[in-house]
Amino acid sequence: MIGGPILGWCGEENLRSDWVYFVIWFHYWHDFVSSELHPMSENIEKFALRVLLVEDEQKIADFVCAGLESRGFFVEHARTGHQGLEWAKHNSYDFIVLDIMLPGRDGLSVLKELRANKIATPVILLTARNELGDRLSGLELGADDYMAKPFFVEELVARLNVLRRRILGAPHDLIQFGSLRLDLVSRKLAYDQQEVELTAREFALLEYLMRAPNQLFSRAQILEHVWGYDFDPTTNVVDVCVKRIRSKMSMLVGTKDLSACIDSVRGVGYRFQP
């Protein structure tokens, strides 16, 4: 949806009028209605990436949250540097979008603390326009990119996708082990010339496991990453989803039973073993 109409923008400068807010509101109202009409749209399916937004200005936060969520990101919004730092230390995020100008602890101080604590989550800084010094300091402290306000949310999405490819290691939009391939564009699982379709959850779960082969993930970790919010720990949705994936993998005829690639460790969780 990056190529969609560019109607919204945001910034801390006082350039906005009620009309601009109406346009932004209409844009997301339209997205929302479209999503309701087309529940299987690409936007709805791309929900696996978790973003921590640290931004004190509520209107900007609302704008960014709506823009990212309408494109399938899961966003958590921290309102202060201290809160953002605590959340980043205790939760797992794919990206952090970090405003520099925050009350109390500023964004650069948060970034410095994150890196000092060996938290390597990719960070995009939000900087005021023309603040070259802030940008340079941010990059030196370990930021991965920056956005100068005001910006189009489409550009933020594009930069997150670039970082995703660069850092998560999917240069060809493919995760491959031998003849077994998970295509991140068509979102299908393939073996040689055979393909099976996966639902959005099945795809997200399998992608999560396949990105870290042989690493054991607990049900709680899988729930948090794939479903994106707290579930009753006794829920069996992970097991049900794995069962469906295995069933689909067994439809692919290979030199071995491919469903065995997902190994279950009793009482703990699952891992992908190519």
Residue nearest Ca ion (C-beta atom): 101
Residue 40, both tokens: 């299987």
Residue 220, both tokens: 């709680």
Question: Helix 18-37 crosses helix 58-69 at what angle (to 10 degrees)?
Answer: 30
Q: Which is nearer to Ca ion, 101 or 143 (CB)?
A: 101
Binding site for Ca ion (CB under 5 A): 56, 99, 101
Q: Which is nearer to Ca ion, 75 or 101 (CB)?
A: 101
Shortest distance, CB of residue 165 to Ca ion, whole angstroms? 29
Q: Which is nearer to Ca ion, 57 or 94 (CB)?
A: 57
For the chain, the C-alpha Rg in angstroms (whole number) is 20
User: Cα separation of 75 and 64, whole Å?
Assistant: 9
- C-alpha angle 122-25-131 in degrees, rounded to nearest 5: 40
Transcribe 169-192 into DSSP letters: T-TTSEEEETTEEEETTTTEEEET
Q: Which is nearer to Ca ion, 133 or 169 (CB)?
A: 133
- C-alpha angle 94-98-103 in degrees, rounded to nearest 5: 145
User: Cα separation of 250 and 116, whole Å?
Assistant: 45
Q: Which is nearer to Ca ion, 78 or 101 (CB)?
A: 101
Length of the chain equals 274
Of the candidates 108, 74, 104, which has an alpha carbon nearest to the alpha carbon of residue 92?
Answer: 74
Shortest distance, CB of residue 251 to Ca ion, whole angstroms? 51
Shortest distance, CB of residue 143 to Ca ion, whole angstroms? 16
Of the candidates 238, 158, 235, 250, which has an alpha carbon nearest to the alpha carbon of residue 206?
Answer: 238
Shortest distance, CB of residue 24 to Ca ion, whole angstroms? 18
Q: Which is nearer to Ca ion, 99 or 154 (CB)?
A: 99
Shortest distance, CB of residue 7 to Ca ion, whole angstroms? 23
User: Cα separation of 169 and 32, whole Å?
Assistant: 32
Shortest distance, CB of residue 107 to Ca ion, whole angstroms? 8
Q: Which is nearer to Ca ion, 75 or 258 (CB)?
A: 75
User: In terms of C-beta density within 10 A (0-12 exposed, 13-18 middle, 19 or more buried), how is residue 88 classed?
Assistant: buried
Shortest distance, CB of residue 150 to Ca ion, whole angstroms? 13
